[in-house]
Structure 1
Amino acid sequence: MRISGLASGLDIDSMVKQLMTAERVPLDKLNQQKQLAEWKREGYREVSTKLVGFNEKLTSYSFSSAIDSKKATITGATGVLTAKATGAATDSVLNVTVNNLASASNVIYKGAAGATKMSDLGVGSESVKIGSAEIKFEAGDTIDSFVSKINKSTDAGVTAVYNSTTGSLSLTSKKTGSESINLEGSLFESSASFTKSSEKVGQDAEVVINGLTTKQSSNTFTVNGVEISLNGTTPTGQSTQIEVSQDIDTMVNTIKSFVEAYNDTLSQLNKKTGEERYRKYLPLTTEQKADMKDSEIELWEGKAKSGMLKSDSIVDKTISDMRTALASDVVMPNGEKINLAQFGITTGNYSEKGKLYIDETKLREALESNPEKATALFGQTDNADKTNYTSNDGIFNRVKKINSGSLQSLADKAGTSKVSSDLTTAFLPQSQIGEQLSDYEKRIEALQDRLARVENQYYKQFTAMEMAMNKYNSTASSLTSML
């Protein structure tokens, strides 16, 4: 039981608090060291997620596909067709004249106007065959339900439309071409109330390609790896030219995307390792925060968190390795050496710390004249060494290997994930900082127990003093009363 100043008139709680403030200095230092370690670990996680995100982009780049990609350019009667170069297309020119489009077969039957049930058409329960589909119905079924069955059937291969006002049923093939619609069953053959009023067999498209007349059952077909879709017939005296060539735009966009991602990653890493460290701004204690405004706490902690990774060895090595890798030659299988500068990609001045710039005109010229070299420069892979890049690795693979090595170092140091780009991903339990934080927690817990004992001891001492003074006062009071 604590007795607070009843006999002495002293503010015991205040005195103990002041005494404990001095005792808590070692605990405050431990908490500050723990907080600094946590902030540093968070800084490592920011770097780690950035590198993982960069590696994900590098994996998504298919430079060999970009090199192989083709584009189809249409001139002349451009409204007649559209064209798309597939992966099988080669550099070529197609002169196309469309004489007629492919059309679909159609047949129309007329029945009783206003009919709503199959029985109104003079038929009973039966089944009919449309295409390869067997459609069953009852005399009491509605005509709409019969039409719905036809349209739901993929094997029927037709689109059915019914007009109840005229009693007409239209069946149109889903495919174009000269093949007629196959219809079997008494409904289509012997019903007096339901008769065929017209039938039109579809036709094939007639197209002249580089002087050769061809028939196509569909208005969309492929020639020499070029997918052509017909939209109309060619005006007299005109033609459409399709030129298939290297899709330089795709390659340029791939390279520009890489340079943008590289510059962004490098900028973030340079910012982390070059950020100013304010060592006088230590993490605030709970008591210090209690005496400050929120805005003051925010400003203080902004300074205290700054520079957690200043001149960090892992981050600095990552930056250095990437810059060296991009500046070095790539050796092609034939022994020829190529580099980024040959493709119009150079670094800025010294103050920009490795930022890349693209001369797009020079890049396009180099890609047009040396697509194979571009494939080697960016996409070449040396599988002999899975960990370290070699002179035979292309730019993409070099950066991926460097990033993977850095991610392993970060995981060992801070327990960061090597595969996640999510900033909320939990830290791995085993790491240097993780063990350091665990040690801080044990020391803090032990120190808190000791401080609790010290505080209790102070109160015991003051309580003993109060009890002694209380006894003295009682004795003095008794003596006084005897006089």
Structure 2
Amino acid sequence: MSTISSTSTGTVTFAGLASGVDTDSIVDSLMEIESAPITTMEDKQTYLETKKDTYDEFNTLLESFYSAVTGLNNENDLNSFEVTNNGSEYFSISTTSLAEVGSYSVEIVSLAQQQKDVSANYVADTGTTSLSGTLQIGDQNLDYDSATLSGLVDQINEGTYGVTASMIDDGTGSGYRLMLTAETAGEELEIIGTGRIEMDTATDGHTVDGSLAHLVVDGVDYYSSSNTVTNAFKGSTITLMAVSKDGAVTLNINSDAQDVISTQLQEMVDAFNAMETFIDTIEASDSTLARSMISVQRSLRNYMTSSSFLSLGIQSDWETGELTFDTDIFDEAYDEDADAMKVALMGDDDNEGIMSRLDDYLTEQLNSTTGFLVTKTNSIDKQVSALDDKIDSMTTRLEKRRATLESQFAAMETLVSSLNSRGDYLTSFFESFNSTS
């Protein structure tokens, strides 16, 4: 069947008009065969991108494992404490790594509170009523004239009088009163107000007396202008909530190192097993892809099944390859010699701990310039780029090849058309000759 088509150069060809052959289809079929290598290279690029995604997932699992390791690579990581006390309604306590184990007697004598004083008289309107008078606050005097209560509050707060001013409505319907609150707990200020705002703390006392926080720890008195006290316990902060009603109570600070180590070891085992499961899944479908990850995992297994970890209760299942953590073995080893366990893990002046060696290996694998993921990614990116170059080169060659084939078939059509024309002429000539003979 004859067809009319347009080539990529914009030239119109009449494919097969002379020969009756569908030359466009022939060219398309030839080009499809010759472009097969491009399809193969594009498939390889897709596979390489899948490898990158797989390596990225594995690296995330490696980072999770490292996160568990970093929880045990420094002696300060073990300075964790459990706090118990039978006076929790009176105070709470938080510890840092510098806290000290011990039992303490604690009594809360008073809480820190700021002095507060309220004026005797009321002001009906805080924004329009004109006020005049003098306030003596400690050793400072404040004279005000034709001021509103709101303006007087602002004037006090913008100054340095050692108090914070506010307006209160006590609900009696009489209006508003001025309240002055000392900025520092425990500080006592005598306040005298004459004129429109009347106050006399020397005669009437304070609405609320200021006081320092006062607690007694093991018979020693401690004072603070805040209810958050940091100097009563080394490495600990105690927050006072109420005065002790029945005298001193007992506070216990105990080391939580055993639980910390146990928790981190379990996290390491879980993170390792997650890598094991991931690699098994990959290996089942692509053993070549899994090979490089298995190499890293094998190194980690050597660390995790060393004598140091075996003595802590970490064991390997020879059938599944997964690790298990036996807490009974761990607890027995810790109770027998906790210090030896800590040295095995984190080392001392004479020995490098297993966690330090494991940390060094993982730091190398996770290095942002030379680590596992960046090395694999860079290699894959180079391969993808090289394939891009080959695809571009082959695409250019195939475009030229198509143009050549189309030109050749066009020349054939021209020749066939010429031969057809000559044949038609001869046929017509002989027909005419025979009719006149």
Under a length normalisation based on structure 2, what TM-score does the superposition of the two structures give? 0.77
How far did residue 323 of structure 1 move? 0.7
What RMSD, in angstroms, separates the aligned Cα atoms of the two structures? 3.8
Question: Counterparts of 1:258 and 1:174 in 2: how far apart (Å)?
Answer: 51
Contact kept? 1:122, 1:194, Cα under 8 Å = no
Question: Counterparts of 1:86 and 1:67 in 2: how far apart (Å)?
Answer: 11
What is the percentage of aligned positions where both structures have the same residue?
23
Q: Which residue of 1 aligns with 2:310?
A: 341
Within the candidate set 440, 451, 454, 2:398 is matched to: 451
SS of match in other structure, 1:71: strand
| Correspondence 1:398 to 2:398 | no
Question: Counterparts of 1:315 and 1:231 in 2: how far apart (Å)?
Answer: 55
SS of match in other structure, 2:269: helix
How far did residue 328 of structure 1 move? 2.1
Q: Which residue of 1 aligns with 2:47?
A: 36
Question: Counterparts of 1:408 and 1:86 in 2: how far apart (Å)?
Answer: 31
Partner deviation per Cα, 1:11-32 (whole Å, 9 max, x = no partner) = 2111112222332233333333
Q: Which residue of 2 aligns with 1:352?
A: 320
How far did residue 395 of structure 1 move? 3.8
SS of match in other structure, 1:78: coil
Going from structure 1 to structure 2, the CA distance change for 1:115 and 1:230 (only over 3 Å counts) comes to same
Q: Which residue of 2 aligns with 1:468?
A: 415
Further displaced range: 314-323 or 85-94: 85-94
Within the candidate set 250, 257, 269, 1:259 is matched to: 269
Question: Counterparts of 1:111 and 1:3 in 2: how far apart (Å)?
Answer: 109
| Correspondence 1:202 to 2:210 | yes
Q: Which residue of 2 aligns with 1:4?
A: 15
Within the candidate set 160, 164, 174, 2:165 is matched to: 160
Going from structure 1 to structure 2, the CA distance change for 1:78 and 1:182 (only over 3 Å counts) comes to same
Within the candidate set 384, 388, 391, 1:437 is matched to: 384
Partner deviation per Cα, 1:151-197 (whole Å, 9 max, x = no partner) = 577x65544332363542222234433x30265xxxx4543652336
Going from structure 1 to structure 2, the CA distance change for 1:440 and 1:99 (only over 3 Å counts) comes to closer
Within the candidate set 315, 322, 346, 2:300 is matched to: 322
Q: Which residue of 2 aligns with 1:146?
A: 152
**Any gaps of 5 or more consecutive residues in structure 1?**
278-306, 330-338, 383-390, 419-426
Question: Counterparts of 1:410 and 1:168 in 2: how far apart (Å)?
Answer: 68
What are the equivalent positions in structure 2 for 1:235-384 lying under 5 Å apart?
A: 235-236=245-246, 239-248=248-257, 249-272=259-282, 274-277=283-286, 309-310=289-290, 312=291, 314-329=292-307, 339-347=308-316, 349-353=317-321, 355-364=322-331, 366-367=333-334, 370-380=337-347
Question: Counterparts of 1:243 and 1:26 in 2: how far apart (Å)?
Answer: 75
Contact kept? 1:117, 1:140, Cα under 8 Å = no
Going from structure 1 to structure 2, the CA distance change for 1:46 and 1:308 (only over 3 Å counts) comes to farther
SS of match in other structure, 2:21: coil
Question: Counterparts of 1:11 and 1:19 in 2: how far apart (Å)?
Answer: 13
Bigger radius of gyration, 1 or 2?
2
How far did residue 74 of structure 1 move? 0.8
**Any gaps of 5 or more consecutive residues in structure 2?**
1-10, 432-437
Partner deviation per Cα, 1:109-153 (whole Å, 9 max, x = no partner) = 2244315369733238xxx78579x89886354322432454577
SS of match in other structure, 1:94: strand
Question: Counterparts of 1:74 and 1:97 in 2: how far apart (Å)?
Answer: 12
Further displaced range: 441-450 or 52-61: 52-61
